[in-house]
Chain A
Amino acid sequence: MTMTEAAAGETTAVVEARKLGLTFQTNDGPVQALTGVDLTIGKGEFVSFIGPSGCGKTTFLRVIADLEKPTEGTISVNGMSPEQARERRAYGYVFQAAALFPWRTIAKNVALPLEIMGVPAAEQKARIARVMDLVNLTGFEKKYPWQLSGGMQQRASIARALAFDADLLLMDEPFGALDEIVRDHLNKQLLELWARTDKTICFVTHSIPEAVYLSTRIVVMSPRPGRVTDVIESTLPRERPLHIRESAEFLAIAHRVRDGLHAGHGYED
């Protein structure tokens, strides 16, 4: 029995990576984007990936999403290969930018995956209304993306990822381009949303406070070659008001994350 089949037996593992590696062939020779990644993500977890640029955190997310193929090791998503999981629309992906289609209204953008998946029109309508409410965008259905602020656009893109009810949400620095006030606000909303929907979330960030505030588990990564250097279980309660970020417990976890980043020599040279 292979590892993948074993994982399929357990109902709790959403993502399971074993000795996962990915080497890009570039003009300057091979680049090891990921090497030796062993990680299991359980159902309902909120896992953050943090590390400096080039540590492979986005690459790992893209491997889960079947946007990149690993060159070593195994990975399963919901007990299947990432490709099978993608074909079954197992996850919603939120990119660094909102990536809304400028020629579609917000509601039409949210409807895009539903149209592609052949959801009947009446149900599309109900689902759009539900996810627009989840991200607090009710009333903006008929607006075009350029009429919305950056934060609202990113919320619309989260609504789009939620629209088809995948249990797994992959988020690649979704708030990286937003200012801190908007980011705080969206972090809080994201936590509320996670609490309400019981989804599994993989979240890439390079902000330590963001990672600590959001996650049940923090995966610290380091570059050249991209690898996991530390996995930190958060001891914070699930209920997290914004001011929890000033608590000693929060700062202790943040400190450990920072230590992990330094140990990976990520910020030298």
Chain B
Amino acid sequence: MDRARDKIVPVLTILAGLVVVWYVAAVLLNAPFQRDLDRRAGETPDTIEFIAKTLSQPKPTMPAPHQVAENFFENTFLRKITSNRSLVYHAWVTLSSTLLGFAFGTALGIVIAVGIVHVQALDRSLMPWIIASQTIPILAIAPMVVVVFAAVGITGIVPKSLISTYLSFFPVAVGMVKGLRSPEFMHLDLMHTYNASASQLFWKLRVPASVPFLFASMKVAVAASLVGAIVAELPTGAVAGIGSKLLAASYYSQTIDMWSALVAGSIVAALLVTLVGLAGRLVDRSMGARPA
């Protein structure tokens, strides 16, 4: 209980601070346009009225928190989830592609790591390419991936999730290489004295030793997957998803819609990272870890 309070109080304090900063920024950023409007309408509002107006523009430069909250609430809870104005619908489209890409990425990362740890040639040849792969701007690759796959008749969720895979396999591969190499010399010697086979060494020592590393890197990977899914929706003409919602809103200067889509994306990201963390904790517990 005390620990929860220790965590919640600082988080809420920071949040309150951010909201205050946000309001101030909204007033300052929306003021020039509001002054312009007032001048043309020949109005001379007092300060309170002026501030109220800057915080209630329909297409503000910087939407106020309550505008975003209202929009978010309306589009999340008041719409049917099948409606394409529903944020739940868009979040689901992005989430499904995120999860598929994350699953591919984790599997690919593990396979690469196992290869690197066991085959010396791969260890020397693969790592530079893997690192290089992450320096390529994902926005440049996304349309090509979608176009190439469409050319061979694969469309929909798979090409989109491949972008997530591209971003998420990297942390898993790097983390798992470290994890599979984490057993101490003494444990390796011990297995050697038992004349353990390579597969026994792998399954009984390397794999269990790598589990904490796997979950730590999966936390990073799942967040990267979401970014990948959103980015994949931007340049590919996707009609649904958080990314397409962001793009459409920016076309029409619907800044409030953009911000509430961003909020939806952040909530999905927080949920995903929390879930992976929770899964990691459960697995840790079942493997006899000392409760923290």
B-binding residues in A (CB < 8 A): 65-67, 86-87, 89, 91-93, 95-97, 99, 101-105, 112-113, 115-117, 144, 146
Contact = CB atoms under 8 A, between A and B. Distances in A.
Contacts, number: 55
B193 A103 contact: no
Interface centre among A89, A91, A95, A97, by most chain B C-beta atoms within 10 angstroms, is A95
Given A101-B205, A103-B208, A105-B288, A67 B189 contact: yes
A116 B189 contact: no
Which 8 pairs of residues, A with B, have the shortest CB-CB distance? Answer: A144-B288, A103-B287, A99-B186, A93-B193, A116-B194, A103-B208, A146-B290, A116-B196
A87 B187 CA distance: 17
A124 to B, nearest CB: 14
Contacts of B209: 103
A103 B184 CA distance: 14
A64 B226 CA distance: 55
Contacts of B211: 103
Interface of B: 184, 186-187, 189-196, 200, 204-205, 208-209, 211, 287-290
Given A112-B204, A116-B204, A86 B193 contact: yes
Interface centre among A93, A96, A103, A104, by most chain B C-beta atoms within 10 angstroms, is A103
Contact of A87 (B190, B195, B287): B195
A184 to B, nearest CB: 25
B179 to A, nearest CB: 13
Nearest to B200: A116
A95 B211 CA distance: 25
Nearest to A62: B189
Contacts of A91: 193
Given A101-B208, A115-B204, A67 B186 contact: no
A103 B207 CA distance: 11
A190 B193 CA distance: 21
Contacts of A115: 204
A226 B68 CA distance: 76
A66 B192 CA distance: 9
B71 to A, nearest CB: 48
Contacts of B184: 99
Contacts of B289: 102-103
A99 B194 contact: no
A89 B288 contact: no
Interface of chain B, main secondary structure: helix
16 contacts: A66-B193, A67-B189, A67-B193, A86-B195, A89-B194, A93-B190, A97-B186, A99-B187, A101-B204, A101-B208, A102-B289, A103-B208, A103-B211, A105-B288, A116-B200, A117-B194
A91 B194 CA distance: 9
A51 to B, nearest CB: 21
A113 B186 contact: no
Contacts of B288: 102-105, 144, 146
A96 B290 CA distance: 23
Contact of B190 (A95, A103, A117, A144): A95
A96 B194 CA distance: 17
A179 B213 CA distance: 34
A43 to B, nearest CB: 20
A144 B285 CA distance: 11
A101 B289 CA distance: 11
A59 B200 CA distance: 26
Nearest to A104: B288
Nearest to B205: A101
B164 to A, nearest CB: 30
A92 B195 CA distance: 11
Nearest to B287: A103
A95 B186 contact: yes
A164 B161 CA distance: 50
Contact of B187 (A89, A101, A105): A101
Contacts of B192: 66-67, 86
Contacts of B193: 65-67, 86, 91-93
Contacts of A105: 288
Nearest to B288: A144
Nearest to A144: B288
Contacts of A86: 192-193, 195
B285 to A, nearest CB: 11
Contacts of A65: 193
Interface centre among B190, B192, B209, by most chain A C-beta atoms within 10 angstroms, is B190
Contacts of A89: 194-195
B28 to A, nearest CB: 55
B79 to A, nearest CB: 47
A18 B235 CA distance: 75
B267 to A, nearest CB: 34
Nearest to B207: A103
A89 B192 CA distance: 10
